[in-house]
Amino acid sequence: MKSIKNGKNIVLGIECTAHTFGVGIARKGKFLANVRDMYTTEKEGIVPLKAAEHHVSKALKIYSEALNKAKINEYDITAIALSNAPGLSPCLLAGLRFAREKAEKLGVPIIPVNHCIAHLEIGQSIGAKDPVLLYVSGANTQIIAYAYGKYRVFGETLDLGVGNLLDKIARYAKLGFPGGPKIEQQALEAKKDNLHYIELPYSIKGMDVSFSGIQTKAQQLFDKGISLEQLSFSLQETVFAMLVEAAERALAHTGKKELVLGGGVACNSRLQEMCKIMCKERGAKFFCPAKEFLVDNGAMIAYTGEIMFNAGDYPKSPEEVDIKPRQRTDDVQINWRK
């Protein structure tokens, strides 16, 4: 088959760490495709083995769709980037098997990409150069920035991720899953009537945040009959203020002048608004990627993979790549930044 490469690299990225199987294709920092499919459940949370089955069953379809979208054939691919960490082991394994099969067939390397770092790196595609990342997803809540040769975690949740908190409260109130958008909707309803704020525990410890006390209190208030609108409004104001406070202190501490949002909770317009206000007040730039790049996606893996590929920062043999379910952001050796 004729190649369209013309000497230019094309990196295909696979996202597989949790509920989403995604394939993105990047070339010179531009996106040729970003296709994804999410495992969903009606009643339960994510069951890792079922999510992995989902990935296995969808992988080929998503891969082919991405190639079609990018108008390339698979032999045009120069390297395969894989989100090998951190995440749910069965899901990571499903991704690794698929990546290995393709890498062997095509004779290309596998570039192992840390999922959290990819959320940060994709900020570059919209102009961020050296940002602080506020990464707010279902399972993860972290404030990450580059310092002294590594991406470091400046603050994080001590218990559950902020998305999980919103999901748990929504589930408790029988609003369904995912809960974040439902809570956002309820909070908007509250604004129409009145803006009565109910105090909730504001739990920030140093640079870290904790949500379990808020969960208990919110559930107690719900049991007492506080309206869902008021509760959702108060919940958002409290937890987002905590996150923005920690992010602001990370900006102050590192002296950085850019904030990037990442993760599913970053879709929330009130959180975006609060970040915008904070950045404006301290003269920092605020970057919020489009929704398809905020949620888990293959494009950010391809994008980061391309940066690593260009720096020659990847194992020479696909065999050397393994899953790292518990890899910490600051475990990763960064050789692609100066």
CB atoms within 10 A of CB 145: 24
**Cβ 172 to ligand AMP shortest distance, Å:** 14
Nearest distance in Å: CB 198, Mg ion? 30
Q: How many CB atoms lie within 10 A of CB 281?
A: 9
Contacting residue, 24, 86, 95, 180, with ligand AMP by CB under 6 A: 180
Q: Helix axis angle, 162-172 relative to 228-254, nearest 10°? A: 170
Does 325 help bind ligand AMP (rule: CB under 6 A)?
no
**Which of 22, 87, 109, 163 is the binder for ligand AMP (CB under 6 A)?**
163
Among 144, 296, 297, 309, binds ligand AMP (CB under 6 A): 296
CA–CA dist 21, 35 (Å, integer): 9
Please, which residue, 137 or 141, has the CB nearer to Mg ion? Answer: 137
89 burial class (0-12, 13-18, 19+ CB within 10 angstroms)?
middle
Q: How, if at all, do strands 110-114 and 20-27 pair?
A: unpaired
Taking CB under 6 A as the rule, does residue 184 contact ligand AMP? yes
Half-sphere exposure in the Cβ direction for 185 (13 Å, CA): 8
d(Cα 260, Cα 131) in Å, to the nearest integer?
Answer: 6
> Interface with ligand AMP includes 83 (CB under 6 A)?
no
Rule CB under 5 A: which of 268-297 touch Mg ion? Answer: 296
Minimum CB–partner distance for residue 141 and ligand AMP (Å): 10
* Shortest Å distance, C-beta 196 to Mg ion: 34
* SS3 state of residue 124: helix
The residues that touch Mg ion, with contacts defined as CB under 5 A, are: 137, 296
Binding site for ligand AMP (CB under 6 A): 137-138, 163, 166-167, 178-181, 184, 263-265, 267-268, 295-296
